[in-house]
Each structure stands twice: as structure tokens, then as C-alpha cells.
Structure 1
Amino acid sequence: MKKTAAVGIILAALSGVRAAAPVNYTQHYTWKNVRTGASGGFVTGIVFSPKQKGVAYARTDIGGLYRLNSDDSWAPLQDYVNNTLWNEHGVDAVALDPNDASRVYIAAGIYTNSWDPYNGKIMSSTDYGKTWSRANFPFKFGGNMAGRQMGERLAVDPNKGSILYFGARSGNGLWKSSDYGKTWAKVTSYTAVGTHIVDPGDSGQNGDIIGLTFIAFDSTSSAAGTASKRIFVGTADSSATVYMSEDSGATWSAISGQPTGFLSHTGKYSPTEKALYVSYVDNANTYGGGDGYVYKYYVESKTWVKILDDNGTGFGFGGLTLDPQKNGTVMVTTYHQWWPDGNIYRSLDGGATWTTIWDFDWSGVQPPVKRRYDWDISQATWLPEITGDKTTGWMMGSIAINPFDSDHFLYGTGATIFGSHKLTNWDKNEKFTLSSLSYGMEETAVLGLTSPPQGPHLLSVVGDVGGWRHDNLDVAPSKAFLTPSWGTTRSIDHAGSRPNIVVRSGDGEGGLALSNDTGATWHIHASAGSWNGGRAQLSANGDFVVWAVNNGLYVSANEYPFEKVPNIPSGSYTTANDRNHNGLFYAAENSNFYVSTNAGTTYTKKTSSIGWIREIGVNPFRAGDVWIATDTGIWHSIDSGNTISRVGPATDAYHVQLGKSATSNGYPAIFAAATIQGWAGHYRSDDGGYTWTLISDDSNGFGTPGNNIYAADPRTYGRVYIGTNGRGIFYGDASATSPVPTAADAYGQCGGQGFNGPKACPHGYTCKVSNAYYSQCL
């Protein structure tokens, strides 16, 4: 391409996360992940530092960035993400400085479509990801868009660490920084912005230009301290997909003789061989592709050589890695190989010959494979319930060999990270152990939580991998929900008076299931039919199910056929059940609040004037006591919704749930995701909603509250469960004395001579004197 003047927007680099929250009370909480033992989501990239042993990072599509610990577990680096920074959990690329192990960079931004209102940013850290500075871009990035496993599209010049290049999406081209990522300018001489769109008619993840796919440098093309002369850029354009500059990015041209008809997925340069390895796939769809190969470009002879072909077997190639300690050792993963399993190819001679991690075995075994490895899933024994007979994995877009240890490799899948510390056994025709190695990496999108008053403290359901019964919050469950087993499970609920009875709904045939042993075993609801998804609630005794599905409300008694609730309009309903009154159900659609007193058979509208209703929470210990989170604040009724009034200072609320009280005769603790005094955060009230304390902090933001899922523990005071959209489930426990007052329970004692308990009453009640020795909340 012809060189043109490099002009561009200079982007401000910002540091810090946020100022102190302007609230009256704060309380320190200890927040931990509820352990599942595997990521439960798509690990899109893995990189090792070539400078410092033991330093490695993994990026995810909606769960942020992680750093490898010495024990093979992972530490999350972006739990600060809150309501205004939530799109930073989408990591579209990660890059390390080859000469300074403390420097790490990420391209942060989750969607390029209208789902994400925020533009992307390049974030830089000089302390291994502990703190970050930000350079804002004038367009969006796509950490959860199609092609997110390609890359890396962000890279640091190995000869001059102040220089970085970033390959953008959406036709925004190539960008460069010369000051360690502080400011950026568009490389106007590079005009191949990419043409590939997975589905041009899609308004979601597949409808945008994939853009550039990878950046690689030839470290031997210049001396240390000067910009590398030879740079390679991959572009999602099947007519010409790899470009090169030999003058430090001043001019660019498509490399002649390159293969056409496919997209470059990953590119790695071998300085000892003076060759670029490129994996190819026919499209960038996250879940499907049909063809591909691997080529090698020799710089000195300017020739391309095909070194691997899928031979029309229905998959492309994805992740690719080189072993810098073993010249000519290369590994590449298949991408979109669904049967009988994903595969990994390994060559010790630069791609002249290959072996695979498994070979076909037609002796009658099922699946028909002979594996080179023993499978270790001790960290997450439930994985086979999700993966079936696929032990290598799927959606394998990234693979990396440890540059300091040829025996150590890792690769990402759609559910976990697999890897080994005995990789070279492969070369000796000896088995090695392939282990799930993503402990500490919790990446599920949580869709439902419930905390029963007996049995396990928590039951959860999530997208893609189903859900669990959590008998120990700090130990991964031994199995996921089975019979039925759905990938995405939408809701879960227990019966208040008979908490052993549990219902869940999911995306799959017979999409409603019941359990009589608190989630240990399940059966499909006898009248589920072909319906699936939606939100299901149980009556207090567990004999009625109200199912918000198919744009309406339906009710079933004792597994008899569902009947549509006749007297409310069609709509998408938020629902809740009273934990103590068997016939009492609540429902909301937009701003309309409905109550049923006959087990969901009919509903009566109580109000439409309290704002947009987002969640309904019930007092687990008292019938008719209901709380409502809306876009105008928090509302409360003590008479089953007949009268409703606004409570406390919240001006906006997404969630409200109630758990165990602070004192033996106190009102339940109330938890809310709300805006109070202008600050959006997570709060608790111990005095019936009058006074609130902030329990989230600068290190724990939980993403956007609109995508959170809430449950409060009825057995442990102060404990709340927060489900996130990509960082799994957190549970929080108070680690300091509460600074806020407590309230007596409804009808509880609130005064009298010698009384030392709480003297305030919760909202809706007044402390009235009966005699000199006794006052009561009435």
C-alpha cells in the first residue's frame, strides 16, 4: 500500500477507577466466589510472558482478565468492574511486553453493537494487572462478538516496548501507540480493514465486520531499542488475509502468493526459522466453521507452504503456538470440530510431519478415539455432564506452550482451560495427564439463585452449563443438575414451607423440572410438554407452579396440565411467591403490579404508579410482606400489596431480597442493588428499610446491576449472594460490626423497662406502648 501521512485522534489516558462513594454508612464485607471448579465460559486467549517464568494471563469474553498463580489456579484482575465500567469485562485482546514482565495491556470492550453504549479502551498496567490506566477510543471493541477467539490483535514491539499496534473491528483499521499505550493514532497507510461479516443480517454478535485478527513482529528485523522493521497483520478478508510491512509500519502490502478463500485466525512468527505460521478457518463464527488449513511463510524465500490441511473433514484451525525452546515445535488446535472430539496437532519438525492428541480407533470403542492422555477433572468433576464424551474440548481458539517449560501447555475451550505439565511425553509415545486447570476462574452468566432455609445454602442456575446444588460454597460441586440436563437454565425456586421441593426451568425439551430433595435428583414436570425457558415459581407448599413463559402466565397444580391465567394481558412477567401463604403469588409486567390469592389462578392489579418494576422480594418469615425494586426506588407493602409505599432514600433500584435478621427478634436484613445519594451500589438495611449501608467497594463492583441476580441467606445474618453476567456467583459476609441501627420485627417488642433490644420498628409499623414493661411494633 502507498504510504500516507499518519494522522489520528490523540486519546486521553485515564487512571484510577472511582472516587469514594457519597453515602452515610459503609461496612467492610468479605467477598468470595462460590466455587464451581471450572470457568464455565469461553476462554478466548492465553499468553505467557517470554521475560519472566510463571507469568501468564487468560482473557475471557465476558469475565475479564486473569493472571496465573504458582499453583495453577487463576486470580481475577478486574473485579472492580461496576455499573459504569462493566464493558471492561469483555477482553478483545491481551498483550505482554516481551522485555518487561510487569507490563500488560488489554483491549477492553464487550460489544460493537447497540447492546454496549460504551466505546472501547486500551488498558495498560505496569504492576502485573493490579492497577490500570486507560486510553479511550472513539469506537467500540468486541470482546463478546464473533471472532473473539482470534488473535492476538494487540501486540508490543519486542525491540521497542513503547510501540504497540492494535487491530480494530468494525472497519476501524490499524492503530499505533508510541508511548506505552498512553495515546494512539490511526495508521492511515494501512487500509485493509477487513470485509468478513459472519451474518450481515444479524443485529447481534455476528453482524459486524470482524476487522483485523492478529499482529506479529519479526524480532530479528531490527536491533534492540529501535522499532521492528518487519510486522505482520492478519485481516478478516478471504481475498487477502495477511499483510506485511518491512519499514516499521510506514508502508504495507498483502504478501504475494498467499492462500485465498479463508481467514487468518492466528499468526506466530518463528525468528529462528524466519517463518510466519498462520492458522486458517473459513469463517469467524464462534460456534461453527467448515474448513481450514495451516500455512507457513518463509520470509527469505518469500514462499508459502501448506503444512496442514483438514482434508475436508468439516473444521478449521484455531489456536496456534510455538515452543521457543524447541525449534520447529508447533501445536495447533482444531476449531469447530464437534465430532468425535476437538483435536490438537503437534509437529516437531516445523510442520513437515504431525501427530494428534487422539487418533481414530475403529475397533468398536465409543467414541471411536484412542487418546494420548489420561483425563483429570478432579477440580470440576461435573464437567462430563456438560461435555459428554468430548474430553479434549470445543471452541479451542487459543493454545500456548510455556516458553520456560516445554512440558507445560494450556489451551482454552468453551467451558474451561485444559493443560498439562508432562506434554513431552507425547513425543515419547507415553501418556500424559490432561487436566482441567481453571480453578479460580469463575466465568458463568448467572440466571437464577435461591437460598433455602434448610439443606444446601444455595442453588444456582447459569447459562451454557446448567446449574448446581452448593453444599459447600468454597468447594466445587461434584455434579451439575441432571435428568434433565440443560445447557442454559433460566430460573430456580424453592417452596417456602417445604424447601425440599424445588423447581427449575431451562432451554431444552421438557423445559420444567421438579426436585423433592433440594436439587439432588430431578424429574421433568409431567405437564411441561414442549415448552422451555421462562421463569418458574412454587407456592409455599410446593403443590402449585406458576410459569412465566410464552409471553404469559400459566399455573399447574400437582403436575396437572398448565392453564393460562385468563385475566391479565400478555407480557413478559417478573414473578415471586410468598414463602408462607400457599395461595399468594406476585407478578409484575412493566409498571403493573399484580397479586394472586388463589395460587395463581387469577390475578388482581394493585398499582401501576410505582415505576418500572424490576424485582419483587418477599419476607421469608412473614406472609404478605413484600418489597419491590423499581426505577423510582424501593417500595414496600405489609398487606399483600393492597397498600404500597416508597421506603428509604433509594432513587433507583434493580434488586431487593430479604435474609436473616441481625438480632433474634429483629426484622430481616434487606439487601438491595440501588442508587442512594447518587451512588449506584449494593446495600443492606437492618432497620426495615430506613437506613442503608454500602457493602460493595472499589474492589468488588459485580458489573452492571441490571444483569445481577440476587438471593439473601435466611440462615446466616448479613450474607447475600450476587450472581453476575460473566464472573460467576459471589457471596458476601460482613467482616466488621454493622454501623447501622437494627429494627425489631413486626409485632416484636420495641421497648419497656429493662429491654435492651432494638427499639425501632420496620417500615409500616409503629412502636406502641402497652405498659411500662412492654412496647410492641404494631
Structure 2
Amino acid sequence: MFGFNTIAALAAVATSPAVYAVSSQAYIWKNVKIGGGGGFVPGIVFNPTEKGLAYARTDIGGAYKLNTDDDSWSPLLDFADDARWNYWGVDALATDPVQPARLYLATGMYTNSWDPNNGQILISTDYGKTFTSSQLPFKVGGNMPGRGMGERLAVDPNSNGILFFGARSGKGLWKSTNFGVTWTQVTSFPSTGTYIPDASDTNGYDSDKVGIAWVTFDKASGTSGSATPRIFVGVANKGWSNIFVTTNGGTSWTPVAGQNTTYLPHKGVLSPSEKALYVSYSDGAGPYDGTLGAVYRYDITASTWKDITPVTGEDLYFGFGGVAIDLQKPGTIMVAALNSWWPDGQIFRSTDSGTTWSPFWAWGVYPALNKHYSYSNSLAPWLGPNYVDTTAGNKQIGWMMESLVIDPLDSNHWLYGTGATIQGGRDLLKWDTAHNVSLKSLADGIEETAIQGLISPPSGPSLLSAVGDIGGFVHTSLTTAPKTSFINPTWATSADIDFAGNKPTNIVRIGTGDSTTGKQVALSSDSGATWAQHYGAADNVSGGKVALSADGKTVLWRTGSNGVQVSSNQATFTGVSTLPSSAVIAADKKSDTVFYGASGSSFYLSTDSGQTFSVKGSLDSSQYPVKIVVNPGVTGDVWVSTDKGLFHSTNSGTSFTAIPGVTQAWAIALGAPAKAGGYPALFAAANIGGIGYFRSDDAGVNWVKINDAAHGFGSASANVLTADPRIYGRVYIGTNGRGTFYGDANGSAPPTATATSSATSSAPSSSSTTKTRTSTSTSTSANPTGTAPGGAYSQCGGQGWTGPTTCVTGYTCAYSNPFYSQCIPS
């Protein structure tokens, strides 16, 4: 999964030192259930000595531990907060075969400028209940190309204090001899990797070296208590050696003779009883590419390679990713097509070391497929039909299948990760007899979605979500998975969603250009149960943010690349020249003709259904407004969050009051009041003496902090909020990788402490916490003198950006969010 708010975490904070006293209120936090999955699961690892112990890693949603009693998963990194948001990018995982309670995670989100932080190895000695961090002197890329290759991190099975880690970006191979506490580079290792997915990519995402792909110990080559002599390491190289071996524990290394150098080695899995190394290859690093590949078996004793690729000729149109061996049944191996996009994913199984293979599906009478499984999506019904779909083109088996494992202590138990979920079953041995196994979605607990928008209307379903990669949902229940995602039209990603204040069953949502139709606006009059295209939208205009007027007659759309547009009564959208293309927008919830906008320090008002806007008031020295929310019962009562704090107006923006103590604010929301007839509860992801999540019951005079040490919610600036207008205290937090959480107050609120500056505040009470944060703000610079225009798809703006702000011919600098703009085709 790609992070949809990648730069947002780099937002600046307070402009000067401040100390604030804010009380904390206990909250109960739970995931809004979609049944598990929603994104790419690049790695699943079983412990070889403790039965049922398994972990999964995701690219932007952290790591999870398997619960063997019900096959569900428990998240391990929900404590990651704004300062540790890149912990949710897990690039490698290792479970200790000697002391199974030990767990290691290599974390970091990006190796390019999107993430300014170096990576780290997270170390746990209690099965992931707690972690300590070992900082690395380079970046780690859990959401970079090649993130399904691996595992890059491995524990020596004979001397478990020794670990090896393969880095990206040309940083090479690293070793620890003290259980991951410190690391040194293995300077004798001969290759740091040469493969770059796209050297022309100017933003660094596809132009970085994929690096070391995997580390595999040959336990049988050594003895318990001493370092394992023989270790194989796979490297992302094409055209020359890409698998290296040491026979002296890493002192010296040589290329394995006779190896395939045409493709990239994705996985290297050792079968100890056979003394064989199985390697899957693809011509791309994945997870999206890969059109050719191979599978090889290396006989360690004879030092010979054998091509055991399951298919050839026109049947080979994909690379290979996941490889699994059955430790209980020597010679049993399974491999997965990395990217068989049509007619479905594919998995092959062999019980004779790859001499012969049987497939998961085969062609019947075209276009029907013969699929050798029964199927259940009962845990996540939105994945598709709850039966075996033999229609070509419906990827029920999956795609992006880099993780494929067989429980080393249970031959019937198998799992594999896809681009959307984890699947598998517990009767795998039937493959070899009846050739028909039970396949089931098994990602319950892995809520791995990037939430783009949330609404909680005053009637109908309590929550609707706009979601990256899987469209979005009507959540009629918070504890039961939805039966379907948004359909007709169907978009992989919904960019935003809004409801009409006076007619809340009327909903609008927008897509990002990834549907079968070019029109990216959809309307519903029945709370999202059914949808219709907005035919007034131009083809190939997409993304951005949307606001629906109070009676549902007018759609105001800040598009991703074509400025702000408006349509009333489903007429053709027309441009709104009086509102900047980067403006934050909102509709009044009472008056059908009133819309609001904010850009820079200016606040805009429209009283003619969004046709024209005029500057109404000022947001002090703000440069980056983030969100406008409107009191659902009072026209003109608006709140605006910005890089300089939180602002409130009761006169449609003519004047604003800066809320004391709030030095920066991102997502904000208004919910049910504490008392009937009272002012709505105000929620904010903000910096109020420290970055966190807060609630005020008196319009920002007093605040309580509502998140705790176990719930950091990742990057505050990347998340979205909405509050429930029917349940006091309930708030929904949509994260960039861990799905949506809902929180309810646990008991009565503590005595409130007014957020005031350090110059005037008194010492906190025993029920309060005091935090200090010092930082500086940054700003978008003008195009530096002499700087060439940005290249195709490169960054061209955003908070702190000092590079080019214009684009090469044929490309336009399109605003994405306050922290990132990109050169896209004009």
C-alpha cells in the first residue's frame, strides 16, 4: 500500500517554547472493523520452534502477532505517535528460533526525502508486548519498492545473539553480536545492490537502490552455541552475481557459482533436510511489477543449480515471489506468482522438490477456471463473493503475493499475504490428495487502510469512510465487517466524502482517477446505500476535497489538478476563479447557499452557492490552513485549524479568535455536546503542550487529552477526524495505515486545566500532565534563482520545500496537501 499522506508528518510545530498544563481523560479505543486487511502484507514469518507463533508485517500499518486460539491478529505498534510515525513501515521481521520471546523489526517508512528520519531495529523480549529501539545510521524503507523481498533481517539459529540485516540505498550488510543493540557494517560483503527501479524518478522513490534482499542461515552447517558458518545473502542485482555465500560466519564472501543473474532473487528459503536452497526470481522488485521470472533449487552438497520453474512459454507471464517449504515433509515446496494480474493469482505446489507441480487453478472451458479450493470471505465480506469465483479476471486468489508460509510445526496450516489481505487455511495436505483445500480470508485484526475522509451524519449510519486502495464503506456497525465497499461507481481510492447538513442522507464522494469511468464524483440520496455518477463532472478530473451544501443541491470541489469547481443541481462543473486552488473548503450545515474557504492567512466566504468567494477575515500569520469545521446548528460559526493554531469565528469569518495554548492544529471535528443544548464537543489533533488528541467541552477554553501511551495513531498531521453527533465523547480517528479507530470516554472527565502559555499558567494539578516542546516552523519558499523546473512527477511545493516550484513542459504543479505538491501531466 502506498501512504496517501506521506509528507504530512513533516509538518512544523510551535514557533517558540511553550509549556501547557492539560488534563488527561481515559478513553477506550477500538478499531472500526472491516474484517482485516485493506493493504499489502509483504511478510509473514513463523517461529520454527514454538508452535503457532507467527508475525506479519505491513508496509504502512505496522506489525501483528497471530492469536492461535481464533486465527486473529493483534497489533504490536499502536503506540507509534507523531515522533515515531515511521515505525508503521516494517521492512523486515525476525523471530528468534532459540528464545522465541525475542522479536526484531526493522522499521522506517521511506528512504527518500518523504521521511527525514533514519530507521531503527525494534527489539522485544516479550513477544512484541514492549520494544526498545536500536537506531541505525541510515534510512529504512518499509513502503519503498521491493518491500516484499526478504526477509532482510535474520537471527543466527545456533548463536542467537548474532543478527544480520541487509540495508537499502547502497548501505550494505550489517551485523549485531549483542541481540541487536548495536550494529556494525560487514565491510567484507562484496555488493550493496545495483538495481534501481527507475533511475529517472526525481523524487527518489523509484530511483533508490533496493539493496540487500534477504539473509538465510544454514543451521545444519554449524553447532549450537557457535556462530553459523554458512549464510546465504540475496542482493537486488541484475546482470551479475546476486546471491553470495559465506562459510566462515561472514568473514569472507563469494558469489554462488552457476546462479541465475537474469532476474532479481526475491526469496531464499532453505530446506535443511534436503540441504537445498530454493530461490524465487522476478524481473522487477515488486510489489506491482514483475512479468517474467523463475524458480531455482540449489543443491548445497553438490554445488549445483536446477531450474524448477513451474511453467514456461506463454504460460509464464509473471515473476515469482513467495516461497514456502514444509519442514515436516522434505521435498514439499510452494511458490506464488508475484503478479499474475489476469485471470487470477496463482500458487504452485510440489511434493518432489520441484520436479512436478500442481497449480491452484487451471483453465477449464474458456473463459471458465477450474479452481481447486472452497472459499470463505466471512471475516471480510467486502473482499468479494463468498463462493469460488471461476470468472476470469476476478482476482480471488490475490495479487502481490510475496509472503507465502507453511507452519513449520503443522503441515496443514498455511498463510499467504496479498495486496489486500491474508488468506490461507488449515487443511493444506488435502492439496496432495483431493487437490481441493479450504481457502479463507484470515486477516481479522489487521486493519491496514489509509483513511482519506470520515463523516458521521446526525442520522442514518454512524460512520462513512473514504479509503485508499479499497474505496470506502458505509459502516452500519462498528464491530461487524461491511458486506461491500462503495460500488457503482467503484474506485480503488475515494479521496473525500461529505454530507448535506439539512438532508444528511445526501452524500457526495470523489475518486482519484482509478475507475473504469473518467468521472470521479458520485452522489447518494440514501446514506450511501446506492450511488449515481455526477455526470456534470469532466472526465479525467479527480482527487482533492469536496463539500456538499446544506440541502445537497451544490457540490464544491477542490480538484486535485484543475482548481476549485462548483456544480449546482448536477449541472456541469465550472471553475471558481475567486478561490485559490489550494484552498481548504467547507459547506455551511444550515444555509444552502453558504460555503467557506481558507488559503494562507485569508478566510473566504461565498453566499451565492460557491459561485464567487471574497476574502472575509484573517487567520493571523497562518500559512497552511488544514481543516474547516462548521457548527451544525449555527450558520457562520466556524473553526479553522492551521500551522499557527486553532481559530474560531462566530460571524462567518469576519473576525477570528485564536484559541490560547494551541500552537498548531490539524484535523478537527465537532460532536455531540456534553449537555443537551450545550456547545458541541470540539476534538482536535493538535499541539497543546505536546502533539496529541484533545477534546474541549467549552469551545476551546479547557481541554483534556484523550489518547494515551498505547495509542499514538501515527502521524497526527496525516490523520482525519470526525465526531459522533449522537454520542457525547465519541470520536473517530482515521489513520494513514492502521484504519479507523473509535474512542469513547471511560468514566467522567478529570478536572480540566485551561491551556495557557507558560508565562501565565500555574503549576499543573496532580491529575494533569506537563509537556514541553521546542521547535521552529518552516515555510514554502519561492522558486530559488536559477533552479530548473521539476521533472515529471517530482515534488514542486509544500511546507519546508526549497526545490523547484515549476514543472517541465507538459506538467503542472498540483497541490496535494499543505506539505506536498507534485508535477503531474497537464
- TM-score when normalising by structure 1: 0.91
Look up the SS of the partner of 1:308 in the other structure: coil
Alpha-carbon distance in 1 for matches of 2:611, 2:87: 45
Alpha-carbon distance in 1 for matches of 2:385, 2:712: 32
Deviations 1:176-231 (A, max 9, x none): 00000011100000031100011111125322100011100111111100000000
Q: CA deviation at 1:94?
A: 0.2
Alpha-carbon distance in 2 for matches of 1:105, 1:670: 40
Matched-pair contact (CA < 8 Å) for 1:292–1:309:
no
Q: CA deviation at 1:573?
A: 2.3
Letter in 1 for 2:652: S
Task: Select the residue among 696, 711, 717 that pairs with 2:707.
Answer: 696
Matched-pair contact (CA < 8 Å) for 2:23–2:752:
no
Matched-pair contact (CA < 8 Å) for 1:587–1:594:
yes
Look up the SS of the partner of 1:100 in the other structure: coil
Q: Which residue of 2 aligns with 1:655?
A: 667
Percent identity among equivalent residues? 49
Q: Which residue of 2 aligns with 1:15?
A: none
Task: Select the residue among 505, 512, 515 that pairs with 2:524.
Answer: 515
Q: CA deviation at 1:517?
A: 0.1
Q: Which residue of 1 aligns with 2:187?
A: 188
Alpha-carbon distance in 2 for matches of 1:126, 1:583: 60
Q: CA deviation at 1:534?
A: 2.1
Alpha-carbon distance in 2 for matches of 1:140, 1:741: 41
Q: How does 1:578-593 map to 2 (within 5 A)?
A: 578-593=588-603
Task: Select the residue among 525, 532, 537 that pairs with 2:542.
Answer: 532
Task: Select the residue among 40, 43, 59 that pairs with 1:42.
Answer: 40
Matched-pair contact (CA < 8 Å) for 1:394–1:414:
yes
Task: Go from structure 1 to structure 2 and tell me whether the alpha carbon gap of 1:709 and 1:371 turns closer, same or farther (over 3 Å shift).
Answer: same
Letter in 1 for 2:327: P
Q: Which residue of 2 aligns with 1:24?
A: 22
Q: How does 1:24-173 map to 2 (within 5 A)?
A: 24-70=22-68, 71-173=70-172
Q: Which residue of 1 aligns with 2:798?
A: none
Look up the SS of the partner of 1:220 in the other structure: helix
Q: How does 1:331-730 map to 2 (within 5 A)?
A: 331-361=334-364, 363-364=365-366, 366=367, 368-384=368-384, 389-508=394-513, 509-530=518-539, 531-549=541-559, 550-569=561-580, 571-606=581-616, 607=618, 609-611=620-622, 612-677=624-689, 679-730=690-741
Work out whether 1:329 is the aligned partner of 2:332.
yes
Alpha-carbon distance in 2 for matches of 1:394, 1:430: 22
Alpha-carbon distance in 2 for matches of 1:584, 1:472: 33
Q: CA deviation at 1:721?
A: 0.6
Letter in 1 for 2:611: T
Alpha-carbon distance in 1 for matches of 2:579, 2:344: 49
Q: Which residue of 2 aligns with 1:255?
A: 256
Q: Which residue of 1 aligns with 2:301?
A: 300
Matched-pair contact (CA < 8 Å) for 1:377–1:436:
yes
Q: CA deviation at 1:428?
A: 0.4
* Structure 1 unmatched ranges of 5 or more: 1-20, 744-778
Deviations 1:100-144 (A, max 9, x none): 110110100010000001101011100000100111011100000
Q: Which residue of 1 aligns with 2:237?
A: 237
Q: CA deviation at 1:536?
A: 1.5
The list of structure 1 runs, each at least 4 consecutive aligned residues, that deviate by more than 3 angstroms after superposition, is 385-388, 740-743
Alpha-carbon distance in 2 for matches of 1:592, 1:295: 63
Alpha-carbon distance in 1 for matches of 2:204, 2:289: 16
Task: Go from structure 1 to structure 2 and tell me whether the alpha carbon gap of 1:264 and 1:430 turns closer, same or farther (over 3 Å shift).
Answer: closer
Letter in 2 for 1:442: E
Letter in 2 for 1:512: V
Alpha-carbon distance in 1 for matches of 2:28, 2:192: 46
Q: CA deviation at 1:336?
A: 1.2
Matched-pair contact (CA < 8 Å) for 1:686–1:742:
no
Task: Go from structure 1 to structure 2 and tell me whether the alpha carbon gap of 1:42 and 1:22 turns closer, same or farther (over 3 Å shift).
Answer: farther
Alpha-carbon distance in 1 for matches of 2:736, 2:634: 31
Q: CA deviation at 1:322?
A: 0.8
Alpha-carbon distance in 1 for matches of 2:621, 2:382: 44
* Structure 2 unmatched ranges of 5 or more: 1-18, 755-826
Q: CA deviation at 1:24?
A: 2.7
Alpha-carbon distance in 1 for matches of 2:115, 2:747: 37
Matched-pair contact (CA < 8 Å) for 1:375–1:391:
no
Letter in 1 for 2:524: S
Task: Go from structure 1 to structure 2 and tell me whether the alpha carbon gap of 1:342 and 1:464 turns closer, same or farther (over 3 Å shift).
Answer: same
Task: Go from structure 1 to structure 2 and tell me whether the alpha carbon gap of 1:558 and 1:305 turns closer, same or farther (over 3 Å shift).
Answer: same
Q: CA deviation at 1:742?
A: 12
Higher RCO (Cα < 8 Å, 6 or more apart)? 2
Alpha-carbon distance in 1 for matches of 2:178, 2:497: 50
Q: CA deviation at 1:430?
A: 4.1
Alpha-carbon distance in 2 for matches of 1:108, 1:382: 30
Alpha-carbon distance in 2 for matches of 1:374, 1:588: 54
Matched-pair contact (CA < 8 Å) for 1:460–1:468:
yes
Q: CA deviation at 1:673?
A: 0.7
Matched-pair contact (CA < 8 Å) for 1:291–1:310:
no
Work out whether 1:739 is the aligned partner of 2:750.
yes
Alpha-carbon distance in 2 for matches of 1:384, 1:489: 18
Alpha-carbon distance in 2 for matches of 1:584, 1:739: 38
Alpha-carbon distance in 2 for matches of 1:668, 1:551: 35
Letter in 2 for 1:162: G
Letter in 2 for 1:514: L
Letter in 1 for 2:594: L
Matched-pair contact (CA < 8 Å) for 2:31–2:740:
yes
- TM-score when normalising by structure 2: 0.85
Look up the SS of the partner of 1:102 in the other structure: coil
Matched-pair contact (CA < 8 Å) for 2:579–2:597:
no
Q: CA deviation at 1:285?
A: 3.3
Alpha-carbon distance in 1 for matches of 2:751, 2:448: 34
Task: Go from structure 1 to structure 2 and tell me whether the alpha carbon gap of 1:543 and 1:358 turns closer, same or farther (over 3 Å shift).
Answer: same
Letter in 2 for 1:460: S
Alpha-carbon distance in 2 for matches of 1:23, 1:59: 37
Matched-pair contact (CA < 8 Å) for 1:658–1:668:
yes
